[in-house]
Amino acid sequence: MVRSGVGRDGCTPPGPTVTAGPGGTGSGVGLSRRTPDREIRTKDRDSRTDMAEPLMIDEIEADGWSGLRVAGEIDLATADQLESSIRTASEQGARFVLDLSPVSFMDSTGIRVVVLAHRALEERGGSFAVVTGSGPVRRVFEVTGLSSTLSLYRELGDLPS
C-alpha cells in the first residue's frame, strides 16, 4: 500500500490520505482517515451504489399470514423504501410476516425498520413474524439480541397456523 502525507517523524498526520491497492496501482483507491488508535477506510462515493444489489419486494401469503418477501441489500439507501412497503402491506391484516431469507446484507437501518414494524403491529394487537433463513440476516438478529424479542423462523413453512 502506498501512502502520501507521511510526516518527518515517519507518522501519518491526522486527516485524509490517499491509498493505493496492491502493487501501487490505482485500484482500490479511496480515502483513509487516520486517528491515533484506528484507521477508518471509506470507498469512493459511487463504488457502493455500483456494487449494491437492488431491493426487491414482493407481496406474499402463507397460512393466514400476509406479508412481504425482500431480496437484495437493506441499508441506508433502501430502508425508506422497505419501511413504506411494510407500512402499506401490514395495514391489510393482523398477521404480518417479513421474509428476509433472500436478503444478502442488512445494516442498522434495516434493523430499525424491522423493530419499528414489529412495535407498530404489536400496538395494534397484531402478530409480526420474521423469516430469516439461516444466513447473515439471522446472525444479525442473534448478535443484537433481537432473536429473543422478535418471532424468528427459518422458513415460511415454520410459521404457526
Q: Where are the domains of the chain?
A: 15-48, 52-156
CA 119, 76, 68, 131 torsion-angle sign: negative
**Three-state secondary-structure class, residue 9:** coil
**Three-state secondary-structure class, residue 139:** helix
Q: What is the pTM of this model?
A: 0.68
pLDDT in tens, the chain (161 residues): 444 444 444 544 444 444 444 444 444 433 333 334 433 333 343 444 456 789 999 999 988 999 999 999 999 999 999 999 999 999 878 999 999 999 999 999 999 999 999 999 999 999 999 999 999 999 999 999 999 999 999 999 999 98
Count of other CB atoms within 10 angstroms of residue 96: 24
Angstrom distance (rounded) from CA 13 to CA 143: 36
What is the CATH number assigned to the segment(s) 52-156?
3.30.750.24
